[in-house]
């Protein structure tokens, strides 16, 4: 499983995969506290809630972090990263959320990695919602010290394992950085290298499911196959919802085919909790709340689903609007 994950990351012999029990946030927390030196200083690129979560983790572990924020409907700008790094020589590391699941925006990983490389800093990537569907080639991204992802998003396994793909040199030099015992990625890595065992109770069934999920990922055409299916899901969803009068938060060229954010209708008959419950009754569970600062709701397009399922979801939305007596074109009339 470790080798399968490393291969999906485009990792060579100079990288390794370190799995960790828990959800995605556990491994992000482990990655940050293990790989950022105790006297390090982190620049956090923020355009959503997961970037803000990285700042909160840094606050809890007591290591300095400075945000570089942009709008939630704007991609992080590599020029802004270059300027921030030039202005603050004390920064040692940079953290980026690849696909910011708050809005579904895709941040330009390769360009930002190049900006970080040019200034001699290191990049840590939260690739939770992109890993397995959007190509990442670590051999071509030398500034990336590590990326973190989990079993249950684009890999379509069951939840319960996170993992980091880490540059060997960085993990070798990271002893003593972590302030937590169970989230010490260096100790976790040492454990696997020593005897192939998990340090603490292994999540056995989840690992077996992840092994199977990796087989299915390969059988479905790997990263390219998954991207093609999700892109068709996303297109089907966006086109269908636009036909019903919904507006997306993001421009199409910024949208990753992972999750789509729609502006919240202003029609008085549209109440989100009610809309959610009516879709649920029709067999479609969407995200129950918003993460963006603007009024929005989100529908995911990943998982073991295809365009026929998304067409069914759009039909369920259409039927719900008819039930509520909202005509297309009226959604955003207050
Ligand atoms: C899902 C996700 C996480 C981790 O969330 P968990 O609920 O802890 O699994 C972290 N970052 C991003 C960008 C995510 O999409």
pLDDT tens-digit series, residues 23-62: 999 999 999 999 999 999 999 999 999 999 999 999 999 9
For range 231-258, the mean pLDDT: 98
Average pLDDT along the chain: 97
For range 235-239, the mean pLDDT: 98
Residue spans of alpha helices (H) in 62-108: 78-87
Q: Is the pLDDT of residue 237 over 80?
A: yes
191-217 pLDDT, tens digit per residue, is 999 999 999 999 999 999 999 999 999
Query: Under a CB-based contact definition with an 8 Å cutoff, are residues 291 and 249 in contact?
Result: no
Query: Which residue's CA is minimally distant from atom 6 of ligand 1?
Result: 24
Phi/psi at 170 (nearest 5 deg)? Answer: -70, -40
Q: Alpha-carbon distance 68 to 112, whole Å? A: 13
- Half-sphere CA count of 21, side-chain side, radius 13 A: 12
Query: pTM for this one?
Result: 0.97
CA 218 – ligand 1 centroid, Å: 23
Q: Give me the torsion for CA of 117, 178, 16, 143, rounded to 10°.
A: 0
- Half-sphere CA count of 313, side-chain side, radius 13 A: 24
pLDDT of residue 225: 98
Q: Alpha-carbon distance 271 to 293, whole Å? A: 18
pLDDT of residue 333: 85
pLDDT of residue 290: 86
Q: Is the pLDDT of residue 284 over 80?
A: yes
| Choice from 46, 97, 101 to test ligand 1 binding pocket (greatest atom count within 8 A of CB) | 101
Count of CB atoms situated within 10 Å of the CB of 121: 20
pLDDT of residue 309: 98
pLDDT of residue 289: 82
pLDDT cut 90: percent of the chain above it:
96
Question: Which atom of ligand 1 lies at the shortest distance from residue 101's CA?
Answer: 15
Calculate ∠ Cα 115-31-2, nearest 5°. 100
Phi/psi region, residue 208 (left: phi>0; alpha: psi -120 to 50; beta: rest), is alpha
Please, which pLDDT band fits residue 95 given cuts at 50, 70 and 90?
A: very high
Query: Under a CB-based contact definition with an 8 Å cutoff, are residues 310 and 233 in contact?
Result: yes
Please, which pLDDT band fits residue 92 given cuts at 50, 70 and 90?
A: very high
pLDDT of residue 328: 80
Residue positions counted in the chain: 334
Expressed in angstroms, the distance from the first to the final Cα of the chain is 52
Ligand 1 binding pocket includes 23 (Cβ within 6 Å): yes
Query: Under a CB-based contact definition with an 8 Å cutoff, are residues 50 and 100 in contact?
Result: yes
DSSP annotation of 149 reads E
| Choice from 20, 97, 106, 128 to test ligand 1 binding pocket (greatest atom count within 8 A of CB) | 128
Q: Is the pLDDT of residue 65 over 80?
A: yes
Query: Under a CB-based contact definition with an 8 Å cutoff, are residues 49 and 73 in contact?
Result: no
Specify the range with the lowest mean pLDDT, choosing from 88-92, 281-285, 306-310, 325-329.
325-329
Q: Alpha-carbon distance 79 to 77, whole Å? A: 5
Q: Is the pLDDT of residue 163 over 90?
A: yes
């Amino acid at each position: 499983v470790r080798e399968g994950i490393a291969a999906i990351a485009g990792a060579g012999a100079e990288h390794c995969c370190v799995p960790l029990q828990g959800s995605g946030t556990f491994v992000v927390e482990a990655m940050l506290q293990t790989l950022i030196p105790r006297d390090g200083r982190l620049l956090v690129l923020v355009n959503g809630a997961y970037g803000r979560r990285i700042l909160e983790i840094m606050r809890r572990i007591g290591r300095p972090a400075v945000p570089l924020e942009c709008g939630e409907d704007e991609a992080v700008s590599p020029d802004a990263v270059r300027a921030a790094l030039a202005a603050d020589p004390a920064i040692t590391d940079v953290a980026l959320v690849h696909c910011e699941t708050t809005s579904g925006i895709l941040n330009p990983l390769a360009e930002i990695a190049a900006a970080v490389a040019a200034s001699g800093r290191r990049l840590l990537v939260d690739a939770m919602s992109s890993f397995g569907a959007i190509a990442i080639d670590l051999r071509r991204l030398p500034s990336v010290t590590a990326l973190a992802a989990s079993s249950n998003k684009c890999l379509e396994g069951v939840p319960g394992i996170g993992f980091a793909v880490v540059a060997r040199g960085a993990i070798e030099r990271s002893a003593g950085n972590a302030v937590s015992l169970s989230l010490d990625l260096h100790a976790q890595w040492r454990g696997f290298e020593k005897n192939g065992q998990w340090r603490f109770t292994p999540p056995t069934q989840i690992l077996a499911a992840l092994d199977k999920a990796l087989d299915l990922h390969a059988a479905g055409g790997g990263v390219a196959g998954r991207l093609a299916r999700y892109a068709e899901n996303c297109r089907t969803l966006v086109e269908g919802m636009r036909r019903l009068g919904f507006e997306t938060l993001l421009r199409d060229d910024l949208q990753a085919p992972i999750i789509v954010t729609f502006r919240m209708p202003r029609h008085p008959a549209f109440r989100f909790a009610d809309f959610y419950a009516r879709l649920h009754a029709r067999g479609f569970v969407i995200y129950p709340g918003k993460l963006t600062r603007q009024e929005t709701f989100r529908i995911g397009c990943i998982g073991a689903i295809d365009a026929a399922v998304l067409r069914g979801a759009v039909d369920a939305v259409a039927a719900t609007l008819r039930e509520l007596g909202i005509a297309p074109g009226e959604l955003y009339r207050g």
